[in-house]
Amino acid sequence: MMSEASTDAPAVWAIGDVHGCCPSLEALLARPEIAQDPGCRFWFVGDLVNRGSASAQTLRCVMDLGERATVVLGNHDLRALAIAAGCQRPGQGDTLDDLFRAPDAGMLLDWLRNRPLLHAEQGHVLVHAGVFPGWDLATAQALAREVEALLRQDRWREHMRALCGRAPSAWDAALEGRRRLRFIVAALTRMKLCSRQGAMAPGAKAAPGCWPRGTLPWFDLPGRMGATHTVVFGHWAALGLMVRKDAVCVDTGCVGGGALTAYRLSDRKLLQVSREAAPLVR
């Protein structure tokens, strides 16, 4: 059996939240370390769309990578689907008109809704926000599939209504219906802090080093069940780049003027380009 460290295994680059910044993504993919390795693969942590100006082109760029790209859904991707389904109204911060008005909008949205919420491989877990501390990997995978199955049905627009809205803060395996689905979505795509008792704290501000009393980042909660795998995530631009054995954050705030980051799983090599798509020296 091939080991994780085998030199024959293709390199995997985890890429942070793109948010419609397609020129930055194209510049990152053009870096020699990536462009000169046609067999390498890409893990996108979600939020491919919204807030930037080129959501449709970003989706096309990632789709063109074919099976080399693995994408998990982020909260902004789900928001785009909810707006398309008529479940939510666009807000002032939404920049999705280029996607909704694109001649291939239907195909792009269908591709997007067929992405998973969680992907696990070779000791790593790819997810947008995190893995709820009370779930082991098998539980998280099973719960993600519950939501994925609804999004992949022909009636997905109707199902979006069940996914949108306030989620309970505490997990209970006996949760049913909308409350269950909304907790799963919130945990995988929006979670940042949890109480020390293990409930999500979705309304808490999350400035690094200034956690509200009684809360911790989900990845620091004592006894976290999913700590046997390295969770690769985004969603948390204020946290920024974080690399540790059990958790890696690659959201470095490209759409807000920061960098778009690629992180190679095998050796922790980092590549970055700025919002203006100029390479950053590392």
Q: Do residues 170 and 134 lie in contact, with contact meaning Cβ atoms separated by under 8 Å? A: no
The 10s digit of each residue's pLDDT in 154-180 is 999 999 999 999 999 999 999 999 999
Given this model, what pLDDT does residue 278 score? 60
Q: Which H helix or E strand runs over 179?
A: helix 177-189
Domains identified in the chain and CATH numbers: 12-273 (3.60.21.10)
Q: Which helix (H) or strand (E) holds 195?
A: strand 193-195
pLDDT of residue 282: 47
Give mean pLDDT, residues 141-164: 97
The pLDDT tens digits of the residues spanning 180-235 come to 999 999 999 999 999 999 999 977 777 888 899 999 999 999 999 888 899 999 99
**Cα dist. 48→32, 124, 240 in Å?**
23, 20, 17
Q: Using CA atoms, how far apart are residues 226 and 126, in angstroms rounded to an integer? A: 12
Q: State the pLDDT at residue 114.
A: 98
The pLDDT-based confidence of 279 (bands split at 50, 70, 90) is low
What pLDDT, in 10s, does the model give residues 30-44? 999 999 999 999 999
User: What's the predicted TM-score (pTM) here?
Assistant: 0.95
pLDDT of 5 higher than 60? no
Q: What is the pLDDT of residue 105?
A: 98
Quick: pLDDT tens for 66-100.
Answer: 999 999 999 999 999 999 999 999 999 999 999 99
Give residue 275's pLDDT band: very low, low, confident or very high (50, 70, 90): confident
Which residue, chain included where needed, has tokens 């979670």?
Answer: 191
Query: What is the model's pLDDT at position 2?
Result: 35
Assess contact for 260 and 18: CB atoms under 8 A: yes
Do the beta carbons of residue 13 and residue 260 sit within 8 Å?
Answer: no
Instruction: Tell me the C-alpha distance between 221 and 215, whole Å.
Output: 9
